[in-house]
Amino acid sequence: MTQNTSAGPGAKVDGRSPAPSQPVSISDPQAIRALAHEARLTVLEELFASQATRTATELATRCELTPSAMSYHLRALEKYGYVVRAASEGDGRERRWKAAGSQLVLGSLSDSTSAKNAYLNVQLNAFRERLSAEIARRDKERKAGKEPEADRAPVLTTGMVFLSDPQRKEFITKVYDLLHEYEELAEPEARGVDGQRLYYMLSFLPEFPDRHGH
């Protein structure tokens, strides 16, 4: 990989600029607000998940934007240390971009509820649109008489389990271990622009009593 550029404000890894093999920890509310845009979240998902380089044109196609509009968003993400410029490939006529680290980690924002909510709302809205599109696609298949695959995953699954503290930690660890296992299985060609993607959203929410003890 090529050399890093300096991280912008809010992007810190133990007080230093993030290296490609390190997580990018974001703790500045202003940097979080910069993420409150669907196209920017799509870009970050693409670059951090693939750990590959992309041009503004390739990313614009995925986000249904013009390359110039995408270049604007990439420069904004670069300003806050989310992405960096990568080495040119081929004839080098178009700049390539990559994630600034191995993963994006949101730091503590205890004093910025509005920034957290802005980020959360954009993430949930993007996932809601994916859910709606998948429901519509499955309805269309059923109307066409196509039987769903026997092992087809549900559109959305929610639930609750009863776990002690040690069991809860073990459960969460096992889920993440499984994700990491499959993330590492992907060959470089599978991470290309036309690779097949599977989106997921995880949230583990332990129950705590409220101020009334309920």
Burial class (CB in 10 A: 0-12, 13-18, 19+), 144: exposed
pLDDT at residue 14 in the model = 33
Would you tell me how many other CB atoms lie within 10 Å of the CB of residue 88? Answer: 14
210 vs 213: CA distance, rounded Å? 5
Average pLDDT value for residue range 80-97: 84
Give the confidence band of 66 by pLDDT, cuts at 50, 70, 90: very high
Give kind and range of the element (H or E) at residue 141: helix 113-143
Instruction: Indicate the pTM of the whole model.
Output: 0.71
Is a pLDDT exceeding 80 seen at residue 46?
yes
Q: At what angle do helices 56-63 and 38-50 cross, to 10 degrees?
A: 120
Q: Which residues contact 14 (CB under 8 A, 6 or more apart)?
A: none
Q: Tell me which range, 18-27, 86-95, 114-123, 146-155, is most confidently predicted by mean pLDDT.
A: 114-123
pLDDT tens for 47-65 read: 999 999 999 999 999 899 9
Give the confidence band of 11 by pLDDT, cuts at 50, 70, 90: very low
pLDDT at residue 214 in the model = 61
| Fold held by 1-152 | Arc Repressor Mutant, subunit A (1.10.10)
Percent of the chain with pLDDT over 70: 83
Q: Which residues contact 7 (CB under 8 A, 6 or more apart)?
A: 13, 17, 18, 24, 80, 81, 100
